Amino acid sequence: MVKLYSKKANPNMRRPIVKEEIVDYLRTQQKPNTGCLADLEQFAQQENIPIIQPEVAAYFRFYLQMTAPQKILEIGTAIGYSALLMAANVPEAKITSIERHAEMFALAQKNVAAYDLKEQITLIKGDAAEVLPVLEEEFDFVFMDSAKSKYIELLPAVFDRLEVGGAVIIDDIFQGGDTLKPIEEIARGQRAIHRGLQRLLAAVLRHPDLTVSLLPLSDGLLLIRKNTAKICLPSGLD
């Protein structure tokens, strides 16, 4: 049994933000995974490990095949499912994925060793807050799927490593709708996530040097294109 998620996982990630019957259609009628991705998806479900939902996987297949990024950075590997999905959909890309939790990192190492046949994926163990500042290469696509309260803190370092014209996709933006509510209505244990996501949205949605879009897929995707070399984010939005 996988210890990290055996008892707890943020339930908001599984609260759909569109009608249940539409979510059900998106999850059951689009092309399912096959092979190792289907096996990993099943393992994650059985062990309560939060990986991207099927409708996000379908969107990623489309987005990645259309844009074909060559240098991908992922923050939050878990068992390596989304990294392997990205590798399968952009066979020429190199993917760097950061994971801080030892148990998840060990599972990702095992899965990447078994299924990353073209050796596209490099795993880095550590906290992204410490790893990002020492990365030397630039990326043309970043997928952020780590602790939700800290996205806003990681974003300046992500922009430093992102090429102009590159994109960032950030998962789990709406927290089942809680992100839009006043903080008094949010359970105390969820307030750091709430504050972090509100700061993130306030910092990017109308930023003059970013092109931004929100997609109501799964628990919400935030899509950001970096349009200029230097991106100044407002500080102290609390």
Indicate which single residue of 71, 94, 100, 161 sits in contact with ligand SAM (rule: CB under 6 A).
100
For residues 137 and 184, which CB has a smaller minimum distance to ligand SAM in the complex? 137
The answer to the question of whether 83 is labelled as a binding residue is no
CB atoms within 10 A of CB 164: 14
Tell whether 128 is in a known binding site: yes
154 CA to centre of own chain: 13
81 binds ligand SAM per the rule CB under 6 A = yes
- The reply to whether 99 sits in an annotated binding site is yes
| Stretch binding ligand SAM (CB under 6 A), from 99-107, 110-118, 191-199, 210-218 | 99-107
User: Contacts with ligand SAM: how many residues (CB under 6 A)?
Assistant: 20
The response to whether 82 counts as a known ligand-binding position is yes
CB nearer ligand SAM, residue 134 or residue 229: 134
Q: Are 198 and 191 in contact (CB under 8 A)?
A: no
Task: Please give the torsion angle defined by the CA atoms of residues 83, 62, 93 and 164, in that order, rounded to the nearest 10 degrees.
Answer: -110
Nearest residue (beta carbon) to ligand SAM: 76
Q: In the chain, how many H helices and how many E strands?
A: 8, 7
Contact 190, 12 (CB under 8 A): yes
2 touches ligand SAM (CB under 6 A): no
Binding mask 112-141 for ligand SAM (x = CB under 6 A): ---------------xxx------------
Q: Alpha-carbon distance 154 to 164, whole Å?
A: 18
Considering only 58, 72, 73, 98, the residue that binds ligand SAM (CB under 6 A) is 98
Which of 176, 155, 166 has the alpha carbon at shortest distance from 220?
Answer: 176
Contacts with 182 (C-beta within 8 Å, 6 or more apart), sequence order:
none
Q: Contact at 8 Å (CB) between 169 and 212?
A: no
- Calculate helix-pair angle for 35-46, 102-115, nearest 10 degrees: 160
Compose the 19-58 pattern: x for residues touching ligand SAM by CB under 6 A, - for all others.
-------------------------------xxx------
Site of interaction with ligand SAM (CB under 6 A): 50-52, 75-76, 78, 81-82, 98-101, 104, 127-129, 145-147, 150
Query: Residues within the annotated binding site for S-adenosyl-L-methionine?
Result: 52, 82, 99, 127-128, 145
